[in-house]
Structure 1
């Protein structure tokens, strides 16, 4: 409890609500949940209070359902977002109705009502599909990746031709996007890279210290610390060595980073913000004339898909991108028709070697 017994309150409803939210936040902090998670969950509760005009001890299932329906109809939220809101509200009500925290008798004493758990299986948003993202978010084809990187390089030339100050930034952005694709990184993982995270792969000494990257800011789970992994540079991606080497040896020092260890720095001698990564991708995507639905994370989807098409084992791909489950990697994968036809031809040739002639452009021999 965070209320002081025996003290009168000028605004009892608001004061009790604030105490409930603080107590809930404390319960989550001792589980080492992230501050962003706490703020997001608190905001959902406050939005429901503002929408319904009712406090948690007055909520019924109808108020919560009306709130979600309003967001779906007016804000256009998708199933995964709606599910997240409902889960947050359900967790809040579980905290309020847990007898160990004593909120129900306090509410009965002060307001004559007690909070109830009004969210259960019957009004939860079901998770019916493995992937619930926008259909337009997808892996890029090889041609689209090339077009994206060509546009990134054109952006450098345009800045140089115009005599603008953004030449270094445009060059940095080009290498950042190429690195994200070449190593299949998440946004935060690329943002958190330091020079010391560049590693040698003793099996491929020709790559120097760019044979692998140590990811220290991987996606965490359930309040844990960021997960770590080492991503090896696949031979099909070794084209990244030259531009990344140039960026480190010649371009980065021109930003005058001093003792800053960040791999990607700005003109203000600070680490490039994660927002800057999004903005760089959006600028280059638009310049390349690609679908505006595509975002930075699509480069990671592309990496997974292309590794699969390069015939790397599923387990290797899963380890490279840091997925706990192979099913997650499968969601990221969208192999091309050409690759599937190649697999089909291999299977047919193995099963019917006397009927299948793989030398005749994929057509069965006569």
Structure 2
């Protein structure tokens, strides 16, 4: 058996033996992409992830006008320069992700075990080589690479946001227009995202059956906790699960959820559908719909456009810390693997820090510690 014949994604697995192509360059390139797709499937990556990776490689090939065995490092530099130019340059994290994807693809086609170098040498007299090196790629030197303008909302901003969400319902009803039910859903959903520190997909994928009683918080009834079944997954692993407890400082969410489940949701006529957040077409709400609803509410509230739905999760982390919850508890509530990630999400205010400083000074005075 030829070397690599038993490997998923090898030349022997995707290119028919003995076939002579009239136009071999695109045929071999398509076979490479098919082989890489199969290799990624064997790593248990999600279909959406694989699709995005393949589309990026196609996009890069179209930009260069060349095939992988012709690529050189300067093409990567020109591609990134193009992405970083213009009125809307891509973020550093996006650039790093693109470079990582291209590096992984080239690693695949340059690995002799899969047979692509030998195939390219035989057919074209050239072999692919790595084009992404430490001297032309972004270094992950900072913990946080997001937009600096994104931050936690203040308590006043949160109140303004929630008031705008409620006013939106009244405005739609007052104009006698359709859409008051989705507006009610959006108001409850935005409040739930904040009250439990949820990611967008985590919120959209919730079912009514995911809500749990907490024996230590009987007053909250069935809304004492929520089981998040579609937490952020690491590559090659299924979505992570966690249980988020309802905290006393946000127990106002219980009444919101009771009203939604007990009265409003039934008006969407969900039938046997288990989704927590329904659409008027009796389906599960999409992540894009969450973003669009938040953007409209944020605009009505007059808040900065840089604040997006994910900022509510930052707000949740920050406010739990300001309430005095231990960092480990906060980390477990939001499903972070590392405490350093939770720290990035927090942006406690001056009042909270001054209070800690005063407490420290008072302890020193009480204990007679010299300053």
Q: Which TM-score applies when normalising by structure 2? A: 0.94
**Between 38-47 and 341-350, the greater mean CA deviation after superposition:** 38-47
- 1:72 aligned onto 2:80: no
* Deviation of the 1:5 alpha carbon: 2.1
Aligned match of 2:268: 255
Aligned counterparts, 1:188-267, within 5 A: 188-267=201-280
**Between 263-272 and 18-27, the greater mean CA deviation after superposition:** 263-272
Cα distance in 1 for partners of 2:77, 2:115 equals 26
* Superposed CA RMSD: 1.2
* Deviation of the 1:282 alpha carbon: 0.5
The alignment of Structure 1 onto Structure 2 pairs a total of residues equal to 356
- 1:26 aligned onto 2:26: no
Return 5+ residue gaps in structure 2 as ranges. 1-10
Aligned counterparts, 1:28-67, within 5 A: 28-67=40-79
* Deviation of the 1:336 alpha carbon: 0.4
Cα distance in 2 for partners of 1:47, 1:141 equals 41
Give the 3-state SS of the residue equivalent to 1:230 in structure 2: strand
1:283-335 per-residue CA deviation (whole Å, 9 max, x = no partner) reads: 10000000011110000000000000001000000000000000000000000
Aligned counterparts, 1:269-280, within 5 A: 269-280=282-293
Aligned match of 1:307: 320
- One of 161, 166, 171 as aligned partner of 1:148: 161
- 1:117 aligned onto 2:127: no
Cα distance in 2 for partners of 1:270, 1:127 equals 40
Return 5+ residue gaps in structure 1 as ranges. 357-366
- 1:131 aligned onto 2:133: no
- 1:187 aligned onto 2:203: no
Give the 3-state SS of the residue equivalent to 1:122 in structure 2: coil
Aligned counterparts, 1:292-331, within 5 A: 292-331=305-344
* Deviation of the 1:155 alpha carbon: 0.4
- 1:3 aligned onto 2:10: no
* Deviation of the 1:354 alpha carbon: 8.2
Aligned match of 2:25: 13
Cα distance in 1 for partners of 2:47, 2:211 equals 30
- 1:345 aligned onto 2:358: yes
- 1:166 aligned onto 2:179: yes
* Deviation of the 1:355 alpha carbon: 8.9
Aligned match of 2:7: none
Cα distance in 2 for partners of 1:354, 1:192 equals 52
